[in-house]
Amino acid sequence: MFVYSLKASTLKFFGIVSVAVIALVALILLVPTYRSTTTAEIAALNENISFDNVKNKDDVVKFLSQYGWKVDETPVEECEITIPKEFDKVMTSYNELQKQQGLDLSKYCKKTAMRYTYKITNYPNYEGTVYANVIVYRGKVIAGDVCTADAKGFIHTLRMPSDNATN
């Protein structure tokens, strides 16, 4: 006859390990998968877009027109900003948005840049006020977005929504 005894601490250990394995499997199965945009896809999307030689507000208007946006000629806001040394949750999320369009703010930590905000006049199928933000450092666009300040607002890359693109 074979007798084996287990201590309560051994049972706790295997119980905790089992729960951890189940939790890990559940996370793997339940977390949605995201398709990352490859460098080649980003380059193809930005093929005809020039991010350089943007030195003043008139150049920003020309830059936005490359995406098909029409904006009021006078910016809503024009101000200096400093890219933070360390990104908090909001900045990390904003930088992920920038990476979707081939830009990366992490290269510009602690740098002072200009942010131009324009009112978009041709946003398709939306009645609210929509803004384009463009961040420029030394004559080069380093970030940008299209957003609204409405309660049920949105923010996305500078690219015009493809299902409703208008020129």
Paired strand residues for 117: 77, 133
Distance CA 47, CA 9 (A): 62
The tens digit of pLDDT for each residue in 117-145 reads 999 999 999 889 999 999 999 999 999 99
Q: What is the reported pTM?
A: 0.70
pLDDT surpassing 60 at residue 165: no
Q: What is the DSSP letter of 71?
A: B
The tens digit of pLDDT for each residue in 57-102 reads 999 999 999 999 999 999 999 999 999 999 999 999 999 999 999 9
| Whole-number pLDDT of residue 19 | 73
What's the mean pLDDT when you consider all of the chain? 84
